[in-house]
A = this chain, B = another copy of it.
Amino acid sequence: MIFSKTTEYAIRILTYMATDYEKLYSAKSIVDKLNIPNKYMRRIMTNLSKSNFIMSIQGRDGGYKFIKSPDNIYLAEIIDSVDGIDKYMGCVLGFNECSPKSTCAMHKSWTETKEKLYNTLSKTSLSNLIKNTIDKF
């Protein structure tokens, strides 16, 4: 997998929640629907609640709901929030940084590839994702 499990799970959870984006989802209802380990998922939810995407409501009848429209939540933001997008935007050879005078032949095409990837991620919103996914959950 290109991204970490945690990131994959986060995207799946948020995508599922976006199918009825004003609803309040309990952790239990999400676990029952998606195939994500219970307690691990709780932790992800708690972390996501500290983001600007969703909020948690504690206590009886609590759960999670969006505080920002899924129209305006993009994959790149989610990945950045969970893992930090930089983790996936590094050099192929693992070098931290190359000075302009020592760029290798890979650099240009590699940079373009990464930009294309980043563009895809930063232009795809949760709302985009759920179109045509009725069969998925």
Q: Which A5-57 residues sit within 8 Å CB-CB of chain B? A: 5, 8-9, 11-12, 15
Q: Copy number in this complex?
A: 2
Number of interface residues of A (CB under 8 A): 42
- The docked-state distance in angstroms from the alpha carbon of A105 to that of B74 is 13
Q: B106 near A5 (CB under 8 angstroms)?
A: no
- The docked-state distance in angstroms from the alpha carbon of A136 to that of B99 is 10
Q: Which A76-116 residues sit within 8 Å CB-CB of chain B? A: 87-88, 90, 92-94, 98-99, 101-106, 109-110, 112-113, 116
22 contacts between A and B (CB under 8 A): A1-B87, A2-B2, A2-B92, A3-B92, A8-B92, A12-B93, A75-B92, A99-B135, A102-B135, A104-B130, A104-B133, A104-B136, A105-B129, A105-B132, A105-B133, A106-B128, A106-B129, A109-B120, A109-B124, A113-B116, A113-B117, A113-B120
